[in-house]
């Protein structure tokens, strides 16, 4: 009987049964207990790749699904597993996500926006999505502002059409209390608007490079926003 078969047989008996099963399986074993989509699995060895985690799940593959670590991640490293082996520990939680799915965020959210939101989360940002008429309000927290604008972690907001990323966006929003001393700041960030039940300061910052359509991502746009903040601070 395989380790995963034993775990699945004990799963219905609750946590006590699971612990008893593992006490027989894991001692002196190089294998690691993980949870994939909430289901306990015994992963061979103590390093994992997307392929090795997906091998524990039926009818999925790296071609159809991505794998994300749900445990806390270092913000400087992606939470998405790839081909590079990652050291894992007992209790690590993984989520499998269809490459063309909406990541469980509701049918109304377009797949392109959903995938980009997941990428932001994998990069360490906290993201909130809400629909506002024909647009989507995307609040991205933990964005480091330049010293001239407070020099601390704050939120930015993007107002996206459902057709993102086919059309260019040429502004973004920052907390209304944000203030800068430069004349450029007061010229570019002098409009106050309310979206998603909150008041924001709009920053008008037009790109000097062409919009690349399907190649554009929210993660890349956040970096562009941070560059804009540095220039107007």
pLDDT score recorded for residue 53: 95
Q: Highest mean pLDDT range out of 52-56, 81-85, 229-233?
A: 52-56
Q: In this structure, what are the phi and psi dihedrals at residue 32, rounded to the nearest 5 degrees? A: -130, 130
Is 164 a domain residue? yes
pLDDT score recorded for residue 105: 57
Same-domain status, 81 and 135: no
Mean pLDDT score, 158-172:
86
Tell me the pLDDT tens digit for each residue of 79-104.
778 889 999 988 888 878 776 555 55
Q: How confident is the model at residue 75 (pLDDT cuts 50, 70, 90)?
A: very low
Mean pLDDT score, 158-176:
88
* pLDDT top residue among 63 and 155: 155
Tokens of 77: 């490293």
Same-domain status, 140 and 197: yes
Is 106 a domain residue? no
Mean pLDDT score, 173-180:
93
Is 116 a domain residue? yes
Q: In what order do the strands lie in the sheet with 171-175?
A: 126-132, 135-144, 153-161, 171-175, 198-204, 191-195
Is 66 a domain residue? yes
pLDDT score recorded for residue 64: 79
Is 104 a domain residue? no
Same-domain status, 79 and 28: yes
Taking all residues of the chain, what is their mean pLDDT, rounded to a whole number?
Answer: 81
Same-domain status, 116 and 228: yes
3-class secondary-structure state, position 200? strand
Is 167 a domain residue? yes
Same-domain status, 212 and 118: yes
Domain boundary among 98, 125, 146: 98
pLDDT score recorded for residue 6: 52
Q: What is the domain-level CATH number for residue 21?
A: 3.10.20
* Residue among 135, 134, 104, 132 at smallest CA distance from 117: 104
Mean pLDDT score, 190-203:
91
Same-domain status, 85 and 148: no
* pLDDT top residue among 36 and 107: 36
pLDDT score recorded for residue 20: 59
pLDDT at 42 over 60: yes
Is 15 a domain residue? yes
Q: Give me the helix-helix angle, 3-11 and 14-25, nearest 10°.
A: 160
Same-domain status, 78 and 191: no
pLDDT at 21 over 50: yes
Same-domain status, 92 and 199: no
pLDDT score recorded for residue 71: 64
Residue 64 to residue 54: CA distance in whole angstroms: 10
Residue 47 β-bridge partners: 87
Mean pLDDT score, 134-145:
91
pLDDT at 229 over 60: yes
pLDDT at 11 over 50: no
Domain boundary among 64, 98, 132: 98
State the residue range of the domain holding 72.
3-98
pLDDT score recorded for residue 12: 46
Is 132 a domain residue? yes
Same-domain status, 126 and 157: yes
Tell me, yes or no, if the pTM score tops 0.85: no
**How does 151-186 read in b/e, with b if 16+ C-beta sit within 10 Å?**
eeebbbbbbbeeebbeeebebbbbbeebebeeeebe
Q: Compute CA distances 103 → 80, 112, 230, whole Å.
A: 13, 10, 33
Same-domain status, 94 and 173: no
Judged by average pLDDT, the poorest of 74-78, 89-93, 119-123 is 74-78
Same-domain status, 133 and 224: yes
Output Rg (C-alpha) for the chain, integer angstroms.
22
The domain total for the chain is 2
């Amino acid at each position: 009987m395989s380790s995963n078969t034993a775990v699945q047989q004990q799963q219905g008996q609750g946590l006590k049964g699971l612990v008893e099963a593992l006490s027989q399986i894991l001692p002196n074993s190089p294998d690691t207990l993980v949870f994939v989509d909430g289901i306990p699995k015994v992963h061979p060895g103590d390093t994992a790749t997307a392929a090795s985690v997906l091998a524990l799940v039926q009818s999925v593959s790296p071609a159809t699904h991505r794998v994300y670590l749900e445990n806390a991640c270092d913000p400087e490293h992606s939470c998405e597993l790839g081909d590079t082996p990652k050291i894992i520990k007992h209790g690590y939680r993984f989520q499998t996500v269809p490459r063309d799915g909406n990541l469980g965020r509701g049918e109304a959210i377009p797949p392109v926006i959903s995938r980009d939101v997941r990428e932001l989360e994998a990069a360490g940002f906290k993201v909130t999505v809400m629909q506002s008429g024909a647009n989507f309000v995307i609040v991205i927290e933990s964005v480091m502002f330049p010293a001239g604008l407070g020099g601390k972690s704050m939120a930015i907001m993007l107002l996206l059409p459902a057709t993102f990323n086919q059309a260019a966006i040429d502004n973004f929003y920052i907390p209304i209390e944000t203030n800068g001393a430069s004349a450029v700041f007061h010229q570019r960030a002098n409009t106050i608007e309310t979206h998603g039940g909150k008041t924001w300061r709009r920053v008008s910052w037009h790109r000097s490079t062409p919009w690349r359509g399907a190649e554009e991502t929210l993660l890349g746009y956040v970096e562009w926003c941070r560059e804009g903040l540095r220039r107007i601070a």
